[in-house]
């Protein structure tokens, strides 16, 4: 069995490039399509949900900046065309699952810090994405910064 459409989730940090390179190698070996997704998290989430002011303008700017950052990030992979770069707004787990289903992806690739102890209890995006995923999930171990 081989994969046909691989979705790689990126937080747009430098450390995420090895995750894309791994997903790309896998996609090449399976002759699968590769798509990239970044999720912009609502500002209110960072403040714990309830913010007594209108954040819509700021959120619009946040989304536009994220689009530029995604294009810069994806610029290293010229073979990924605009329709293979996705930007969504919301909670990463929910949006990654939604996009994977919508795009008919059969593998989601995420980076994993391999946390343990207290950090694991606090949770990670990789753990979160695994739960209830509509397809296989590959967690690529991220190297700790030197």
- Nearest to 110, CA basis, from 133, 131, 79, 141: 141
136-141 and 85-89: which strand pairing? unpaired
Check: CB of residue 96 under 8 Å from CB of residue 38: no
In the complex, minimum distance from the CB of residue 133 to ligand AMP, in angstroms, rounded to a whole number: 13
In the complex, minimum distance from the CB of residue 99 to ligand AMP, in angstroms, rounded to a whole number: 10
The answer to the question of residue 39 lying near ligand AMP (CB under 6 A) is yes
The answer to the question of residue 125 lying near ligand AMP (CB under 6 A) is yes
Selected binder of ligand AMP within 16, 27, 108, 137 (CB under 6 A): 16
User: Which residues have CB under 8 Å from 43's CB, separation 6+?
Assistant: 51, 55, 58, 59, 62
In whole angstroms, give the CA distance from residue 133 to residue 98: 9
3-state SS class at 146: coil
The answer to the question of residue 93 lying near ligand AMP (CB under 6 A) is no
Selected binder of ligand AMP within 124, 130, 133, 136 (CB under 6 A): 124
**Interface segment toward ligand AMP; rule CB under 6 A; list 9-17, 42-50, 56-64, 75-83:** 9-17
Q: Which residues bind ligand AMP (CB under 6 A)?
A: 9-11, 16, 19, 37-39, 41, 92, 110-111, 113, 124-126, 142
């Amino acid at each position: 069995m081989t994969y046909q459409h691989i979705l790689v989730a990126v937080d747009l940090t430098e450390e995420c490039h090895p995750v894309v390179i791994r997903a790309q190698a896998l996609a090449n070996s399976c002759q699968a399509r590769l798509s990239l997704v970044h999720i912009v998290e609502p500002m209110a989430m960072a403040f714990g949900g309830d913010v007594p002011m209108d954040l819509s303008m700021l959120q619009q700017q946040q989304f536009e900046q994220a689009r530029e950052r995604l294009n810069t990030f994806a610029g290293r992979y010229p073979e990924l065309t605009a329709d293979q770069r996705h930007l969504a707004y919301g909670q990463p787990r929910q949006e990654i699952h939604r996009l994977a289903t919508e795009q008919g992806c059969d593998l989601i690739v995420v980076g994993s810090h391999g946390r343990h102890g207290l950090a694991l209890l606090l949770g990670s995006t990789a753990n979160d994405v695994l739960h209830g995923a509509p397809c296989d999930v590959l967690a690529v171990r991220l190297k700790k910064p030197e």
